[in-house]
Amino acid sequence: MASERWVFGYGSLMWRPGFPFAERRAATLHGRRRAFCIYSVHHRGTYERPGLVLGLAPGGATRGAAYRVSEADWAETYAYLMEREQPTETYIEARRQVRLEDGRRVDALTFLSDVGHPQWAGVLRLDRQAELIADAKGLSGPNVEYLRDLVNHLREMGVRDAAMERLLGMVERL
């Protein structure tokens, strides 16, 4: 239905949405890839010691979770998402079509990386990502916990992301 409200999550929204939803489905977004490409100065780092968080960088495809939110819960959910995802406005709020696991295609609220934002880290070597993540800590806790949660949740979904698993190994060795 055109009036349905969906939210696409590719990072912590997958395991900790924080809002009521009527339906949750595995989903794929084409044209964007999950990457540690945003300097975090709020949730997983500080201005003095930035960490890294996920963004949707141009290219590729991303497997994540789509949530259908009832119209009655939408206003509160949207306000919550703006506060959670946009404390420093590093993302571009967009509506993008995602393919649900059952084949349906739905338009979902999606937060895309703003490549023009000062916190855009761009493409960083894996060893540089590991250095940034290893010791960073922000309001939501240590940066490494975010990476560990991501890898564990992807495994639970049946997704083996070799680069993220390698990155986690590098961070844990540091």
For residue 154 the two structure tokens come to 């992807």
- Asked if 145 is an active-site residue, the reply is no
* Catalytic annotation, pick one of 23, 83, 85, 93: 85
- The residue count of the chain comes to 174
What angle, 0 to 180 degrees and rounded to 10, lies between the N-to-C axes of helices 162-173 and 126-135?
Answer: 50
Residues 6 or more apart whose Cβ sits within 8 Å of residue 34: 10, 11, 54, 55, 56, 57, 62, 64, 161
If residue 91 lies in a helix (H) or strand (E), which one and from where to where? strand 91-100
Positive/negative CA dihedral, 112, 115, 119, 122? positive
Of 110, 135, 127, 94, the closest CA to residue 54 belongs to 110
Give the separation between CA 75 and CA 52, rounded to whole angstroms.
Answer: 29
Active site residues: 85
